[in-house]
Structure 1
Amino acid sequence: MRLRFLGSTSEAGACPSLYETDRGTIVVQGLTLTDAEALGDLRHVLDGESAVEVPKELLVEIARRVLD
């Protein structure tokens, strides 16, 4: 699988960041969610899955770029 960088809201270009794959999916790079209460709210987490927190602004910005 290959990734294409879509963008980040970080000034340094670090995480959180979004990538598009050559398989038509999106990859999220960010800090792993570790808050126990928040993790308890997740549903149907499969083995090998994790949760990553990203700001809404990042999703909105990337959606604008992709949809334009």
Structure 2
Amino acid sequence: MKFEKISGDCNRDDCPGIYSTDQGTVVVQGALLTDTTGLTPSPREAAVEIPTHLIEEAARALGR
């Protein structure tokens, strides 16, 4: 799978980011949440947190 960063504004490897893929999907990178009270991810899922403005930037980058 190939990734293209469409949103995110830092230069560190651990910062939030949103990527489009060559599979027609979007991947979100962010801080893994350890307190997921009220949210129940399945065993193959993880919850991450990213700033709202990155979602807005990603939507604009995708033409939405």
If the length of structure 2 is used for normalisation, what is the TM-score?
Answer: 0.81
5+ unaligned residues in a row in structure 1: which ranges? none
Once superposed, which parts of structure 1, at least 4 consecutive aligned residues long, lie more than 6 Å away?
A: none
Instruction: Could you tell me which runs of 5 or more consecutive residues in structure 2 were left unpaired when the two chains were aligned.
Output: none
Distance in 1, matches of 2:59 and 2:48, equals 18
> Using CA pairs below 8 Å that are at least 6 residues apart, which structure has the higher relative contact order?
2
Number of residue pairs aligned between Structure 1 and Structure 2 = 63
Higher helix share: 1
Structure 1 vs Structure 2: percent identity of aligned residues? 40
RMSD: 1.7
What TM-score, normalized by structure 1, do the two folds share? 0.77
